[in-house]
Chains A and B, each alone.
Chain A
């Protein structure tokens, strides 16, 4: 367990997102009204910066670029969204938000696994 403080819970208002530097790693805090999710700061679709393109409403995070969206309560993919969000384990304590950050979470864009033979053998 490597719990690190991200921000105070009051730093990110309901239905908004904000980017924070946690010991050199950028993370995006989303306050979806019913709680917080801490995620990498880019959309898993095309690396759009979610601090700018992310919209939170109705417990849903939507990237305004191509309308990929996730239910932040369940992390369910909505609509045409094809990839899941990665999330840091989160804890609230004494009015502050902590994440369990062992290493930075990154999305594999255009990685070999997307183009390897196993991927293409599935139909």
Chain B
């Protein structure tokens, strides 16, 4: 067991009123760690903010990766209907760190190895104001957020955003890529019954204040990868891929590596970011192929009527990828984002036909 001295040494202090702070201690196979947590703050958020590398994938109550067991302390377990909570042993004190809020000092056990990382790289809580919201298609909206302080993130990461108007936080990938930026851009596809979407689509949201927590996620791209990129996105899943393409383009990555983008939408009318994608194709001078796969209508011709550089394919995006990539999977990294059935189908192609190893496949495991 780790000594109390180590715990105290690891405990960062913040300049908040002490009454509002409780201390969360986590016991793990790699020792004990303690961090301050604001009253009502999710344990996951407080821990990551303090540089304690707690396990998580979705951070929104779906995947169950942040499971812990409450040993002592008073908490609010948060979202009662969370899909992941239903799988846990509630009677033994199992909780989701991403949903559970501390109401007193807590002791939690976590069966994963964790470590203390630099707080500089840790995600943080920010305030933001929505601006420049615009519809890209009939069911896709893009909006920018002006942040209260700059954020640095990696291409492919996401952030949680929440508003007092709607219960719960939503995870959205950053579309833009910049370091130390106070402007981040998100993409949202309208889903029926999606509270946050309805709020975004129904109201004049420009000027609305939101809470932002991030950056999060490990499905990232760095220019040191030295591999070809296979990017498969369905609908708004293209969001994080745009950041990856921006990062790669800026560093001339496609001068020395190939990129293959497969972007699935129902019809030609549903395509968006085509200006941007066509520009990336131009700049790559042969190093980047972009294919728009249309699932609900046959393409009128081989390339997009308005963009020579964007090829068209019929059928689901994983099918378009499979028929195009045969024999070209060597030394490739696969990035996937989109509806879960699309991600699953594309994964099967990458693993079975492409023989990509799990380490060469990146996606946010929200399921």
Seen from chain A, the residues whose Cβ lies within 8 Å of a Cβ on chain B are 15, 46-47, 53, 55, 57-58, 60, 62, 64-69, 78-81, 110, 114-115, 119-123
Given A62-B358, A110-B88: A55 in contact with B347 (beta carbons within 8 A): yes
CB contacts (< 8 Å) of B88 on chain A: these are: 110
B126 near A: Cβ within 8 Å?
no
B331 near A: Cβ within 8 Å?
no
Given A55-B351, A66-B57, A120-B27: A114 in contact with B357 (beta carbons within 8 A): no
Chain A CB count within 10 A is highest, among B29, B67, B351, B361, for: B351
Seen from chain B, the residues whose Cβ lies within 8 Å of a Cβ on chain A are 1-2, 27-31, 57, 63-65, 67, 69, 87-89, 92, 94, 109, 111, 344, 347-348, 351-352, 355, 357-359, 361, 365, 367
CB contacts (< 8 Å) of A79 on chain B: these are: 357-359
Closest 8 CB pairs of A and B: A67-B358, A79-B358, A57-B352, A69-B358, A64-B347, A114-B111, A55-B351, A79-B359
- Residue contact B28 to A62, C-beta cutoff 8 Å: no
- Residue contact A47 to B358, C-beta cutoff 8 Å: no
Q: Which single member of A53, A55, A110, A123 contacts B2 (CB below 8 Å)?
A: A123
Report the bound CA distance from A77 to B367 in whole Å. Answer: 22
CB contacts (< 8 Å) of B87 on chain A: these are: 46-47
Given A55-B352, A115-B69: A78 in contact with B92 (beta carbons within 8 A): no
Report the bound CA distance from A67 to B358 in whole Å. Answer: 6
Report the bound CA distance from A53 to B30 in whole Å. Answer: 30
Q: How far is the CB of B217 from chain A (nearest CB, A)?
A: 14
Report the bound CA distance from A120 to B28 in whole Å. Answer: 6
Q: Which single member of A53, A60, A120, A122 contacts B109 (CB below 8 Å)?
A: A120
CB contacts (< 8 Å) of A114 on chain B: these are: 111
- Residue contact A65 to B357, C-beta cutoff 8 Å: no
Report the bound CA distance from A62 to B57 in whole Å. Answer: 18
- Residue contact A123 to B348, C-beta cutoff 8 Å: no
Given A115-B111, A119-B29, A120-B29: A78 in contact with B351 (beta carbons within 8 A): no
Q: What would 25 A/B residue contacts be, using CB atoms closer than 8 Å?
A: A15-B352, A46-B87, A55-B348, A55-B351, A55-B352, A57-B351, A57-B352, A58-B355, A60-B357, A62-B351, A64-B344, A64-B351, A65-B365, A65-B367, A66-B63, A78-B358, A80-B358, A80-B359, A81-B358, A110-B89, A114-B111, A115-B111, A120-B28, A120-B29, A123-B2
Nearest residue in B to A63 (C-beta to C-beta)? B358
Report the bound CA distance from A111 to B352 in whole Å. Answer: 34
CB contacts (< 8 Å) of B64 on chain A: these are: 46
Given A55-B348, A62-B351: A123 in contact with B358 (beta carbons within 8 A): no
Report the bound CA distance from A48 to B344 in whole Å. Answer: 13
Nearest residue in B to A47 (C-beta to C-beta)? B87
CB contacts (< 8 Å) of A62 on chain B: these are: 351, 358
Report the bound CA distance from A62 to B354 in whole Å. Answer: 14
Nearest residue in A to B347 (C-beta to C-beta)? A64
Q: How far is the CB of A76 from chain B (nearest CB, A)?
A: 13
Q: Which single member of B2, B111, B347 contacts A119 (CB below 8 Å)?
A: B111
Q: How far is the CB of A21 from chain B (nearest CB, A)?
A: 24
Q: Which single member of A46, A47, A68, A121 contacts B1 (CB below 8 Å)?
A: A121
Nearest residue in B to A80 (C-beta to C-beta)? B358
CB contacts (< 8 Å) of A67 on chain B: these are: 358, 361, 365
Q: How far is the CB of B59 from chain A (nearest CB, A)?
A: 15
